[in-house]
A = this chain, B = another copy of it.
Amino acid sequence: MNEKPSFGVIGGGSWATAIVKMLCENLENVNWYMRSVYAVEHIKKQDHNPNYLSSVEFNTDQLNLSNDINTTVEASDFLIFAIPSAFLKRELENLTIPLHDKVVFSAIKGIVPETSLIVGEHFNQYHDVPMENIGVLTGPCHAEEVALERLSYLTIACLDEKKAELLAAFLSSDYITCKTSDDVIGTEYAAVLKNIYAIAAGIAHGLGYGDNFQSVLMSNAIREMKKFIKKVHKMKRNINDSAYLGDLLVTGYSVFSRNRMFGNMIGKGYTVKSAQMEMSMIAEGYYAAESAYKINKEKKAKTPIINAVYAILYEGKNPKKVFKKLVDKLD
């Protein structure tokens, strides 16, 4: 790896756009891949992403934009993936350049549906990226607030903390504070699970439960998350650190979270299908609920909230009845 490594961002959504903005504060050049030919042309001419965080103005001299993922991968030592987990496998099928000598950070916060693996494990098992080259970039962070340059804290996790520190240095700025961690598995699972809990919060809201109950739900959710992650990867961690509890709160209490919105519609009586069509966006927690439920069949952590969300989304159970039972399991 060079002294001055090159960085590439994979994805054209709001989180990808926010990450490119953060990197542009510190780097002369950022490689940026997105699928949409239209969006790339628009950014080149109009200096902003037409579809996401369009208030963010780029200096296009800093951007090496491409619609070919291979161009971006080839040019980059560090890659940050920020596309929905449901599209990851398909996107990676276009790769002809190997990933095994790249440093790959996931900013995805999802489980790859086809393999039921978190993103880091997927890169490790299917693309031979060594675990010490795999990392996680996580919040608590709404991309919209990065656009507004509101103070936000990120956690950058990598088994090789040197790599985490390097990425952290290039993401930090007046409005971004970065912390590093070696808990790659735990931070990624936290980012995945919190979306399921945000769906639960949305369902509760849709069913008419109030703020008193929401706080009990979140207090149970963080305890449940702790148990789940401990079963999956036991190590010393403080579950109340920003990357776990903070990330849960910023999503669970946000009325703008897609996952919470999706849950809210389910609570209000929409079917899963109609809620998905209505939203025309991916609620990561939908896939995460199935994967987490399946993983936990083996791990056997006590996860009444995940089970409830799974029963509603995948077994067609009545949300009102499921929550009526769930509330007796909370305290």
Contact = CB atoms under 8 A, between A and B. Distances in A.
Copies in the complex: 2
Nearest to A226: B240
A179 B330 CA distance: 10
Interface string A212-230: 1111101110110010000
Identify which of A219, A242, A249 gathers the most chain B CB atoms within 10 Å of its CB: A219
A219 B253 CA distance: 13
A300 interface: no
Contacts of A249: 214-215, 218-219, 249, 253
Contacts of A330: 153
Contacts of A220: 242
A148 interface: yes
Given A177-B327, A327-B177, A331-B153, A241 B219 contact: yes
A148 B216 CA distance: 17
A174 to B, nearest CB: 11
A285 interface: no
A209 B253 CA distance: 16
Chain A contact patch, size range: 35 or more
Interface string A122-140: 0000000000000000011
A108 B141 CA distance: 35
A197 to B, nearest CB: 13
Contact of A218 (B148, B210, B216, B246): B246
Given A153-B330, A215-B247, A238 B210 contact: no
Interface of A: 139-142, 145, 148, 150-153, 177, 179, 208-216, 218-220, 222-223, 226, 238-242, 245-247, 249-250, 253-254, 327, 330-331
18 contacts: A140-B212, A140-B216, A141-B212, A145-B211, A150-B209, A151-B212, A152-B210, A153-B212, A177-B327, A177-B331, A212-B250, A215-B247, A215-B249, A218-B245, A220-B242, A239-B240, A240-B240, A249-B253
